[in-house]
Amino acid sequence: MVRDNNPNLINFTFIFSNKRTSNLGVLLLFYPIIFTMNQLQLIVNQIFTDSFNEKPMIVRSPGRVNLIGEHTDYNGGFVLPAATDKSAYLAISPSVTNTGKWVSVDMGETVEINFDEIKFYQNHRWINYILGVVQQFENRGMKIPPFNCVLAGDVPIGSGMSSSAAMESAVGFALNEMNGFGLNKKQLAQLVQQAENEFIGVKCGIMDMFASIHGKENNVIRLDCETLEYQYFPLNLGDYKIVLFDSGVKHNLVESEYNLRRQQCEEGLTFFRKHFDESVKNLSQVPLSWLQSSKSQLDPIVYKRCQYVIEENQRILSACENLQAGNLKDFGIKMTATHEGLRNLYEVSCKELDFLVDAVWHESSVLGSRVMGGGFGGCTINLIKANAIDELFDRLSVSYKQNMGIKLKTYSVVTANGTELVICD
């Protein structure tokens, strides 16, 4: 897909791809095995310094988890995400020539970009995440001079932890800093969301980039996606931990039905505006009674989608009260209720995710379990008693392999600060 007919586009030329830079060599071959999070910043720093003979600016930008409030963001509702220690790392510096050299450590690719033509790279998707952000600055009249960069990350791709938002937020943050544009964090999150909506083509809400940019260690963020007002809540889980089980089913939100869900919600909202109140701002604010009294007039699919969104938005608000009151048991019950809604009403689960939830939710050590993020694959998020996690994972991986034929992976969640500059000596 080439998008070169938009007058706002800057132009880039793709000069070469798929060439490993000579200095990556054996280092990159073993990179996924050898290097842990803190070492990734050293890696991007080293590769950048070796390749460009100068010290770069380095930005860390985290992935996210979301405790509850799924598919509510683009419906003007609430969400409850936290930034994680799994992050994208970007080393960046202005280029002294007319071109920029961009290196993806994870993909083992280097490209040279001529800032003349912008187009969508079907087979080198990581480039699009950078280009989309560049384009948004340019659309706002903020000229981006050529730059060199090196990217790496340990946010698992396609697992529902927002590896793409982490990367885009890193690029947005770095370009804002490097060029002194002075955008604030909210403006940056909006810019990055627009890049994802317009260039990547996923009509996502703002949760992922907002969480990545605004994250705070040991806290979750209760974000009102209509007003972008937010509040940090300390995450006190006592004996429990957040654990992700990775179904190994890779989701792709562009090719998935994500955009269709959004359309169905818009159809519902249009109906409520027409028949009840023109001024209702979003679907999350529609009272359940309006929905119930409209059953015979609404398309049954649209009805189910609306029911899920309205109920989920109410659920997150009372789940936040549970969290504040330290009532983790009721919080967990609501997480599992969210899964039921996502499975039966919103229909964004899949058999592998359902298996993982069904296999654990009744365990005495588990408070709640549900699919996390966009769905159609990726991870489940679970609240599990710390001393039971290993044994549960062992049992679950055996039955998951037997039933689904997939090796189960798990990530324990460590909350972290949002997008930030990091110092490498």
**Cβ nearer to ligand GAF, comparing 281 with 295:** 281
Q: Of 68-76, 107-115, 307-315, 409-417, which part binds ligand GAF (CB under 6 A)?
A: 68-76
Identify whether the C-beta of residue 204 lies closer than 8 Å to the C-beta of residue 132.
no
Q: Letter for the amino acid at 184?
A: N
Least distance CB 401 / ligand GAF (angstroms): 27
Selected from 90, 204, 243, 316, the binder of ligand GAF by CB under 6 A is 204
Q: Letter for the amino acid at 47?
A: I
The tokens 């083992």 sit on which residue?
108
**Cβ nearer to ligand GAF, comparing 9 with 157:** 157
C-alpha distance from residue 425 to each of 28, 98, 110, 174, 379 (Å): 21, 29, 25, 19, 36
Site string for ligand GAF, 207-226 (x = CB under 6 A): xx------------------
Q: How many residues make contact with ligand GAF (CB under 6 A)?
A: 11
C-alpha distance from residue 89 to each of 93, 99, 239, 414 (Å): 14, 22, 32, 17
Judged by DSSP in three states, 112 sits in strand
Site string for ligand GAF, 158-187 (x = CB under 6 A): ----x-------------------------
Distance of CA 387 to the CA centre of its chain: 29
Backbone angles phi, psi at 293, to 5 degrees: -80, 0
Least distance CB 225 / ligand GAF (angstroms): 9
422: left (phi over 0), alpha (psi -120 to 50) or beta: beta
Show the tokens assigned to 74.
Answer: 């683009």
Helices (H) and strands (E) in the chain, counts: 13, 14
Catalytic residue selected from 85, 106, 208, 246: 208
Show the tokens assigned to 180.
Answer: 């002194």
Show the tokens assigned to 15.
Answer: 């000069």
Residue 208 bears catalytic tag: yes
Q: How far apart are CA 157 and CA 28, in angstroms?
A: 18
Judged by DSSP in three states, 308 sits in helix
**Cβ nearer to ligand GAF, comparing 76 with 100:** 76
Q: Does 189 bind ligand GAF (CB under 6 A)?
A: no
**Cβ nearer to ligand GAF, comparing 156 with 374:** 374
Q: Of 54-62, 67-75, 96-104, 395-403, which part binds ligand GAF (CB under 6 A)?
A: 67-75
Least distance CB 70 / ligand GAF (angstroms): 4
Q: Does 353 bind ligand GAF (CB under 6 A)?
A: no
Q: Does 205 bind ligand GAF (CB under 6 A)?
A: yes
**Cβ nearer to ligand GAF, comparing 10 with 157:** 157
Selected from 71, 86, 251, 370, the binder of ligand GAF by CB under 6 A is 71
Pairing of strands 81-94, 240-246: unpaired
Least distance CB 293 / ligand GAF (angstroms): 27
Q: Which residues are catalytic?
A: 208
By CB under 6 A, name the binding residues for ligand GAF. Answer: 70-71, 73-74, 162, 204-205, 207-208, 373-374
